[in-house]
Amino acid sequence: MIKLIKMNLSKILLLVLLTFNLSCAQIAENELFVAHWNIENLFDTVDDSKTSDEEFLSTGKKEWTNERLERKLYNLARVIRSMNDNNGPDLLGICESEHEYLLDSLAKSFLSDKNYKAVSPESPDFRGIDNGIIYNTDKLSLLSVKGYETKFSDNYNTRLILLGTFLLNKTDTIYFFVNHWPSRRGGQQESEPRRIEVAKTHKSIVDSLFKNNPKSKIIIVGDFNDEPTNLSVTEILGATPFLCDSTDTKLFSEDSETKLFNTSYKAWSDEFGSYFYQDHFNMLDQIIISKDLLVGSDIRYECNSFEVYKPDFMITRTGKFKGAPFPTYGGNRYLGGYSDHFPVIVKFKLIEKKYD
């Protein structure tokens, strides 16, 4: 009798779990969940003679070992897996990974239950850190990947602007850009000209897409090292601060010159941020979308779904940095955390096509 009760309870539990998973899958099928994350220096433990990665060796300042790398990958996977009600993101932009095979390892070894693939072309950055993309192959097919370099007069090198072109559910083309603009080292104003140059490069790429198709579905993510109202983002790239309850309908008209909208503006104006610096949160990580993703008939941004994603387990609990992301390092001191940036996320509703 006891065995029978246990068997029935097991069957009930299995049925509940299956029902829950099917429910999650149905929700996920009607949405596109997009995220971006600066993962803070994901390096391997091998010296690359072409880059300055010496601090991330076992003999370097960070005393970087295989054990610490494994812990880093485990921590990253924990955060990624927890997104989207534990379904994980469909499309994830990554900053600060040294090589594509590290993201491959993250996807295949630490997120093996997800149908993820990764791409991350090598960049000319002097430290060797690259931008990358992890994507859900159940929903997205990679059509092409390309990196765009910004040329500076003083031969300064920075990360490539990464463009992944995807086919969503075998019907809609999505242009997904990942950025990591030059840092604010030396001061925000002093370093701004470099970010402006990258913004100009990006603008020319986006303009060429719109010239080919004014209704191009474009998602731009990244660590811009500038905030939503800085010159590089608003004036040069042309990303308009966007509020969902905006009554300015002229912005969305066909003859409007406004083509890009910054979904992170409201959270920034509400004093949220993705990066903590000098006792203040900055919204350096942003998600910018094209007009068709606001007013189109196939895929539509879920109003106010932009969020700085900060699960409890990756928040610093005490001390001077209470409330900030729990990082891998504090200076050269190993802490064993996740990243010095919080991820940012948005959702898009996939609108079912009706045929007569």
Residue 321 in this model has a pLDDT that exceeds 80 = yes
Rounded to whole angstroms, how far apart are CA atoms 277 and 55?
Answer: 22
- pLDDT recorded at residue 169: 86
- pLDDT recorded at residue 84: 98
Residue 162 in this model has a pLDDT that exceeds 70 = yes
For residue 24, name the pLDDT band (cuts at 50, 70, 90): very low
State the DSSP string of 81-94.
HHHHHHT--SEEEE
Q: What is the mean pLDDT of residues 56-82?
A: 97
> What is residue 315's DSSP assignment?
B
Question: Would you kindly state where each structural domain of the chain is located, as residue ranges?
Answer: 2-350
Span of 74-83, 125-134, 159-168, 254-263 with lowest mean pLDDT: 254-263
Residue 164 in this model has a pLDDT that exceeds 80 = yes
> pLDDT for 115-157, tens place per residue?
999 999 999 999 999 999 999 999 999 999 999 999 998 989 9
In 3D space, the residue among 295, 264, 291, 282 whose CA is nearest the CA of residue 324 turns out to be 282
Distance of CA 189 to the CA centre of its chain: 25
> Cβ of 333: how many Cβ atoms within 10 Å?
8
Q: What is the mean pLDDT of residues 188-210?
A: 96
Span of 1-5, 71-75, 182-186 with lowest mean pLDDT: 1-5
- pLDDT recorded at residue 252: 67
Q: What is the mean pLDDT of residues 316-329?
A: 96
Contact call for residues 292 and 216 (beta carbons, < 8 A): yes
- pLDDT recorded at residue 249: 61
User: Distance of CA 173 to CAs 153, 161, 201, 297, Å?
Assistant: 35, 19, 22, 14
CATH topology of domain 2-350: Deoxyribonuclease I; Chain A (3.60.10)
Average pLDDT, the chain: 90
β-strand pairing of 172-180 with 217-223: parallel
- pLDDT recorded at residue 245: 75
pTM: 0.90
Contact call for residues 307 and 267 (beta carbons, < 8 A): yes
